[in-house]
Amino acid sequence: MSVFEISSLIITGLGVIATFSAVIVALWQTKYASRKKLKCQFIENNVVMNPNSFDKKLYVAMSISNIGNKKVIVSNWGIKLKDSFILILTSGFEETIFDKMVAVKTPYILEPEENVTFFYSKDLFQKLINEQVEKGIIGANNKIRFVVHDSTGKSYFIKSKFNAHFYIAK
């Protein structure tokens, strides 16, 4: 074999490898590039302050970020129990000016690279957790499991940083 033939075989082989790699990447992109993906974070302490009167109110919150490439419609969020689900409503029952300012209605359309935060009264949250611990539905030493649902029925789960006793002890 001449040098020309050997170099021709090597170049042809590299071309085959490059073509095969391009096909694999194209198949991967169609499957994974345009999928829904949310990043959820539960925030224990949020303070909303009125700039005129300096009144303040404490909230817990669920921060949801769309880190995928498709829009996601957030249907609701709440606490996932062993055999049930506690829906947390964050709008529609506003009592104070603070609740009206932070209320976000569901379903909420979340575009790619967008974030939304659902606030819930900290006092009501503590009462809710205390009630569930007293009934034995949530163990005082267990972490709270939160769930966010989208319009397709997909669920996104996260756990609290602290156990249930932390939230009712305050």
pLDDT tens by residue, 121-160: 888 889 988 888 888 888 888 899 999 988 888 889 999 9
In the block, tokens 């209320």 appear at 103
> What pLDDT does residue 31 have?
67
Q: 51-103 pLDDT, tens per residue? A: 777 778 888 889 999 988 888 999 888 888 877 777 777 665 556 666 667 77
User: Residue 115 above 60 pLDDT?
Assistant: yes
Rounded CA gap, 138 and 153, in Å? 24
pLDDT digits (tens, 9 = 90+) for 18-58: 999 888 888 777 766 667 888 999 998 888 887 777 778 88
* CA distance linking residue 44 with residue 62, whole number of Å: 9
pLDDT of residue 23: 86
Amino acid 97: pLDDT: 67
- Give residue limits of the domains in the chain: 1-33, 38-168
Q: What kind of fold does domain 38-168 have according to CATH?
A: Immunoglobulin-like (2.60.40)
Q: pLDDT tens, 69-78?
A: 888 999 888 8
